[in-house]
Structure 1
Amino acid sequence: MENRVNEPYDVVVVGGAFSGASTSLLLRRERPQLRILIVERSEHFDRKVGEATTEISGCFLTKRLAMNHHLNHHHVPKHGLRFWFSQNANDSFGDCGELGGFYQTRLPTFQVDREVLDEYILAEAVAAGAELLRPARVKDIELGEKLQTLHLETANGEHTVSAKFLVDASGRAGVLSRKLDLRRSLPDHPTRSIWARFRGVKDWDGYELKSRFPEYANSCQVSRATATNHLTGYGWWCWIIPLKGGDYSAGLVFDERLYTPPAGATAADRLKAHLLNDPVGREIFGEAEVVEGDVKSYAPLPYYVDQIAGRGWQIVGDAAGFLDPLYSAGLDYCSWTVSSAVYRIEAEVDGSTVDVPMINKHWLMSYHGWFNALYRDKYYYLGDKELMTAAMFMDLGLFFFGPVRSVVHCLKYGFGQLPFTGPMDSFVCKLMAFYNRRLAHIARKRHSAGVYGSENLRSRTLIAGFAPTPEVLKVVWRGVKVWLRAELRSARLPAVAEKEIPAPAAPATVS
């Protein structure tokens, strides 16, 4: 590639994975006159953790990017969320509590292999006319009034490129945020994660489990194997995600204040030991093997930038921040931030003035609102079925009534508004933060009194599902009633200090 400093691009995108490739693809489709360069560090994408979409990111992929064919042929259709509960390591698989759907989901969602998906979107962006420089490493960035200049290192030597607009989609590497010292941690949510790919995972819907546990097999009409299954406990949860070809992605996420995983020589050993200490995990992963080389860990998980946009630049996707993988909202925020950048660039190309400070304000409102409404202290009650039932009904019901309904009924511009930034969102955010705080308080009382998870066994709560219509408020009301019942049942338990955090308990062992 020759030096193009005197022929600036309209847009340079740093990072060619989901967010960078999606930004480039949408811009080339909607403003084909734009010259766009994608700078990608890797020669090919590594195998990433298996990842699930929600109805938001599913809509973005199928309706905004129009990738139904690829998703249906190379990934796994997802059939909702499913949570599993137990009381101790020796419980029977058939007795473990279950919370999830009875029927298939109503909107398209998928279990995606990110390596495959990212390569496909990048190829589509190039086919649409974006230029690709790969592999290339960003050595330095110079931000200017009119041009943004990047100094790159490639296999053919060093190059300099410039553009009117820079999009940082470099993921956790955060090329621009680190240069500008914008990245911040979230100490109120000290979570860590270990994950791996497994082979030889037992079939959730197969004959072996059906013959041994007929009540389990006959209790719902949808495939359990294609759901995002969650194992849960006090201070932790695990995801189990099927991938095309038969492998499974499994990961442990835990609040380091509340839980410590089993000891082990490697991260894979610790993860496998944890899975085998759970009765559902032991049944499903008893003969499974970790795929060598596909084990990763992160600590801490959450981070964010305190400024997402500036003169001539914007940060998107995981480069902007990450909160928590529970409820699979990671690709949702990629979809929202990509859309924000695309709409801004298009508006500026068309000669409109964009309120950049408002973009930054809405980003921080959304990130912290989402944290307070959904995740603050949630790990206290993840392992209590009654409390998680209340939370799931209210959390997902309001999610469908708000953000999902917004993108379904206004496809393009529904993605332009981040959650918890609209006129009614402040009230909803405060409501969700309130009941989440109350559920966490009840969980602390129950844990202290030794009655945590008392309804975890021999209980299945299977519902018809969620839809982005006013009817979903009936599910929200059902969750409110479960919450109020839990308040009444816990009213006589001894009080605990609001900030009391017990030391992590040693993992139970299987006798």
Structure 2
Amino acid sequence: MLPLRSVSASRRSSAWSRATSRATWRFPGRPTSTNALPSRSRVASSGGGRRNARSSSICNRKTRPEPRRKRRTPCRSPGSAPTTTRTPRTTSPSPTTWTWSSCGTSSASSIISEPRRIPDSSRSHGCCRAKGSRNPSRRNSPRPNATSGACMSCDSVAADALIVGAGPAGAATALALRRAGLPRVVLVDRQRRSRFRIGESAVPTVGTALGRLGLPRDLEPLGHRPYHGNLSVWGGATAAIGDFLRRGLGHGWHLDRAAFDAWLRAEAIAAGAEVVSPATLVGLERRGDRWSARLVGEAGVVSASARFLVDATGRRAAVAARLGARRRLHDRLIALATVTPSPVNARLVGHSAVEAVADGWWYAAPLPDGRAIVTLMTDDDIARERRFRDPEIFHRAWAETTLLAELAAPAIPAEIAVFPAFSQHVDRAGGSGWLVAGDALIGFDPLTSSGIAGALDDGCAAADAILRSLSDGADEAAAGAAYAQRAQSTLRRYLTERRAHYAAERRFGDQPFWLRRHQRAFARSSSQLA
């Protein structure tokens, strides 16, 4: 984290050496598998739970400084975007990491209701602001009706927080920081939108997360549709129905992802966040107590400086990788998706469908326009071997399903989009002046449909950690340790639940896809975090 003005350098160094070690952060309560196979899931009715009690304790065990490692090129799955250029790791100073440790918990529930006194950052000359953002003298008063425009017409940007990635996690972090009164928050948006989006189903806990951000919980006026539960063929040949209402959760939402993401960005801008777009991070360096970044877009190069840096780049974890973090992949899952050309069966309206098959599992969810997204989830090598990217072969596999073929009439797809869907986490959740949020921190299996709710919850928790770190007289080591514990708790719970979900399907136990998920090696994945 960035040095605090009210604490001496020697005391800061001592605090970090006591509170950090070789692991990563944890969070107590990012929602996980609220959606997956409710009849067999061990998920509590709260959708994974969210702990709101605050604790200021930090672990007292002795730790060792982070050893220097040789730089390794982060692994990349099919469909993930490569880093534009390679730059040296940050060396001045060495980024102390927040580690997976047994420390206190943290809540983000106060980040909107209790603004903190934050020292203002230094101003830069010619800094750009997004269209629709407020006058600097009124930054702490959210203004409605701001547009979602952005600019890249300047050559320098100064901020308190620079958030790389403008998806749900990045936009939620920016919105929470602005609502809490942090003066300068800048989002870096690549604007690389794909036609299809995985995650059109959002579990009921997304409403709670939206409420914590000060946003409406009812998304139907925005064009999204209620999501009441799941139809599944899993663990047997008979279809089962699992409704959220029977579990006391209310309903979730079937989203138009492009519209939902654009709405979140617009809300962040309306609250006073600035957007640099389109832009890609190509250089990063630590200079004193600030980060210096180089951004490249259509208009040229922009220099950015910030007191705090957030990696919200999705499963690529591009910023964390530059700072020495490593991704830990738990599987090789990819999604092959298409959109039905005709309206779906009325039974699918308000529900999602999941059906296990020998080579993976199928997923279908209705879209607001009456069609549906149909997706085959399998491992990348199986997809290559079975040639599922061929429209004819994809169509035949779709036609061989029972539930999916009934709810969404099989058709030869005009286009098949491929997405990375693997479960993963980074081996550190942040360090001095930086943190990781959303899928960059923990990438969930789409079986859970919890990616969006988790990203919004991460935004609240990340904003709380940043505000605690930048406030006058704050203990940034304790803030980092609390964020680390939250992430660790979520990861352990998710791996346990994921293992139980896949273990419930035994009909195809001799097939490679299922063998990999039933092996003991999968159970040992959580031991890597001990």
- TM-score between both structures, scaled by the size of structure 2: 0.61
Q: Which runs of 5+ in 2 are unaligned?
A: 1-152, 523-530
CA displacement at 1:243 relative to structure 2: 1.0
Asked if 1 retains the 8 angstrom alpha-carbon contact of 2:204 and 2:249, the reply is no
Asked if 2 retains the 8 angstrom alpha-carbon contact of 1:86 and 1:97, the reply is no
1:191 aligns with 2:315: no
Whole-Å Cα distance in 1 between the matches of residues 455 and 412 of structure 2? Answer: 32
CA gap 1:136/1:99 in 2 versus in 1, 3 angstroms: same
CA displacement at 1:328 relative to structure 2: 1.1
Which of these residues, 159, 175, 179, is aligned with residue 29 of structure 1? Answer: 179
2:345 corresponds in structure 1 to 203
1:487 corresponds in structure 2 to none
CA gap 1:250/1:65 in 2 versus in 1, 3 angstroms: farther
Which of these residues, 123, 129, 145, is aligned with residue 266 of structure 2? Answer: 123
1:97 corresponds in structure 2 to 239
Q: Which runs of 5+ in 1 are unaligned?
A: 89-95, 206-223, 385-442, 453-496, 502-511
1:135 corresponds in structure 2 to 278
1:509 corresponds in structure 2 to none
- Aligned residues: CA RMSD: 3.3
Asked if 2 retains the 8 angstrom alpha-carbon contact of 1:267 and 1:295, the reply is no
2:418 corresponds in structure 1 to 296
Higher relative contact order (CA 8 A, sep 6+): 2
Q: Secondary structure at the match of 1:376?
A: helix
1:374 aligns with 2:497: yes
Q: Secondary structure at the match of 1:301?
A: coil
CA displacement at 1:336 relative to structure 2: 2.9
Letter in 2 for 1:3: D
CA gap 1:294/1:274 in 2 versus in 1, 3 angstroms: closer
1:205-224 counterparts in 2 under 5 A? 205=347, 224=348
1:221-232 counterparts in 2 under 5 A? 224-232=348-356
Which of these residues, 188, 193, 198, is aligned with residue 39 of structure 1? Answer: 188
Letter in 1 for 2:427: D
Query: For residues 212-260 of structure 1, what are the alpha-carbon distances to aligned partners after superposition, in whole Å with 9 as ceiling and x for unaligned?
Result: xxxxxxxxxxxx4211211124563222111111121121223679x77
Which of these residues, 377, 382, 396, is aligned with residue 273 of structure 1? Answer: 396
Asked if 1 retains the 8 angstrom alpha-carbon contact of 2:172 and 2:213, the reply is no
Which of these residues, 475, 479, 483, is aligned with residue 353 of structure 1? Answer: 475
2:229 corresponds in structure 1 to 80
CA displacement at 1:173 relative to structure 2: 2.9
1:247-266 counterparts in 2 under 5 A? 247-254=371-378, 263-264=386-387, 266=389
Q: Which moved more, 1:233-242 or 1:108-117?
A: 233-242
CA displacement at 1:59 relative to structure 2: 1.7
Letter in 2 for 1:337: D
Which of these residues, 5, 13, 20, is aligned with residue 163 of structure 2? Answer: 13
2:107 corresponds in structure 1 to none
Whole-Å Cα distance in 2 between the matches of residues 297 and 273 of structure 1? Answer: 21
- TM-score between both structures, scaled by the size of structure 1: 0.63
Q: Secondary structure at the match of 1:107?
A: coil
Aligned pairs, number? 361
1:378-389 counterparts in 2 under 5 A? 378-382=501-505
Whole-Å Cα distance in 1 between the matches of residues 304 and 519 of structure 2? Answer: 54
Whole-Å Cα distance in 2 between the matches of residues 361 and 192 of structure 1? Answer: 29
Letter in 2 for 1:253: M
1:318 aligns with 2:425: no
Asked if 1 retains the 8 angstrom alpha-carbon contact of 2:166 and 2:187, the reply is yes
2:215 corresponds in structure 1 to 66
Whole-Å Cα distance in 1 between the matches of residues 408 and 251 of structure 2? Answer: 28
1:370-449 counterparts in 2 under 5 A? 370-371=494-495, 373-376=496-499, 378-382=501-505
1:181 aligns with 2:321: no
Whole-Å Cα distance in 2 between the matches of residues 37 and 359 of structure 1? Answer: 22
Letter in 2 for 1:275: W
Q: Secondary structure at the match of 1:254?
A: strand
Asked if 2 retains the 8 angstrom alpha-carbon contact of 1:276 and 1:285, the reply is no
CA displacement at 1:314 relative to structure 2: 1.1
CA displacement at 1:63 relative to structure 2: 4.9
Letter in 1 for 2:241: L
